[in-house]
Every structure is written in C-alpha cells, then in structure tokens.
Amino acid sequence: SMPSEMLLKIFSYLDAVSLLSLGCVNKRFYELANDNGIWLQLYSCSLHPKWKMKSKQTETVSLGCAALHDKKPGYWKKEYIFKQTCAFKTRVMRLVKFLDPYTGLPCKNKEAMKVSGLSWIIVLKDKNGKEHVVEKPKLSFKDTSVTVLWYGPGWPCLDFLSTLKLFGVTPLLPDQSRPPSKNGPRRFSLIAEYHLANLTESSVAVGADELVQLFGLSPGLLVGIWK
C-alpha cells in the first residue's frame, strides 16, 4: 500500500469537503484525513484568503509546533468546521433578520434558503425496516408560505409503509461557488415523523376525485394517493 507520508502529501492539496469525504472511506483514511498539519493550514488560509501561498505557509509555521503536537488528532478539523459554520450562520442571519410585518416571513426568505443550501428529504420506512429516501423536492414560494412538494410514480406502495420522516438538510460546509452535493457531508435535522400504518382506515380524506384521495396529517403534511 502507499506510504502514509505520500498520502498525506496528496491529501494536503484537497479542500475541506474532499477531506471529510475521504475520512469515510476506511479507518486509515479517517486517521490521515484528521491530520492537524493539513487542517491547520486550511484554518490559517481561511483567516487570510487573499494572502499568497508563501504568506500562508509562514502563518502556519508561526503558530508554532505546539499548535500541532499538543493537540489531539482532529482538533484543527473541528476548529475549522466551527469557524466556517459561524461565518455561514452570520451570512444567513443577515438575510433573515428583517421580517415582513404582514406575513411574519423573512423579507429575503428565498435568498436565505439558497445561501444556506437548505433542502428537505423524506425517508419512508416499510414494515420490514427497509428505508426509501426521496430527495429533490419542488419548491413553491408564496407571500405567506413555502410549499415543499414531492411527487412521482416510483414511490413504494402505501400498504407496506410504516413511517414517514421529514428531514431538513444543509451542507456541513456550504460553498457559495457551487451547488451542494448530496454525496458531500451534510447535517440532518428531523422535522416531523408520521405513522402511516392504517392511514386510510384511521384518517378522513380531506379531498378526493375519481383518481386521487388526499389525506391531511398533522403537522402540515398532505398525502395524495393515486388509485
């Protein structure tokens, strides 16, 4: 196998998102991708992004050997993520700070969602415990609401489903220069969980026609079933 020193050299040319992804490959890659020297350089570069490379290296060295050897592996990775997360939250909070006095929604709601990389996914679990993940919803922005819509013919049969979980998803390290990748590191936040067993027997349809039945689940979920 390739020597660790050579792998570290290769890893040193990668960005933070790539390093986090590599850390999921195996135990050896996880340990190497936690290297304090690599993350300290990323951290120092993020403090002064306009510096030339020589200045960045000088900054890293000037922090001293103690910054590397007296810290546990992964320390500067955590510091880098914390710093980037704080800067990201500050950008988003500037956009959601001012509310529309008539609707209560942020005046720049759509822009804030775009900057944050916020998306939503549905995780359906069947009665055998198998999970089905549904991504790529359609968004509809109104003056008083935001509607998130999933639809398609490839959904599993309702009779075999037990629960539906709704998650809010944001990239761990948002990058404004490119759209978030679903293969990159992400944060998941559970918004709601719905029990679907006996849905049609225990719930009253809120709307129906010859082809579709519509059921309402609290909080805020409408389920349309095509016959």
Question: What is the pLDDT, as a whole number, of residue 52?
Answer: 44
pLDDT confidence tier of residue 150, bands split at 50, 70 and 90: very high
Its pTM stands at: 0.72
Question: What is the pLDDT, as a whole number, of residue 177?
Answer: 55
Q: How far apart are alpha carbons 48 and 55 in whole angstroms?
A: 9
Percent pLDDT > 90 in the chain is 27
Tokens matching residue 140? 């509809």
* Lowest mean per-residue pLDDT among 21-25, 45-49, 51-55: 51-55
Question: What is the pLDDT, as a whole number, of residue 10?
Answer: 92
More confidently predicted of 50 and 157: 157
CATH number at 4-85: 1.20.1280
Range 134-160 average pLDDT? 86
Domain residue extents for the chain: 4-85, 117-226
Range 205-227 average pLDDT? 86
Question: What is the pLDDT, as a whole number, of residue 168?
Answer: 93
Question: Has residue 189 got a pLDDT over 90?
Answer: yes
Range 46-57 average pLDDT? 52
Backbone angles phi, psi at 139, to 5 degrees: -105, 140
Range 167-190 average pLDDT? 78
Contacts of 69 (CB under 8 A, 6+ apart): none
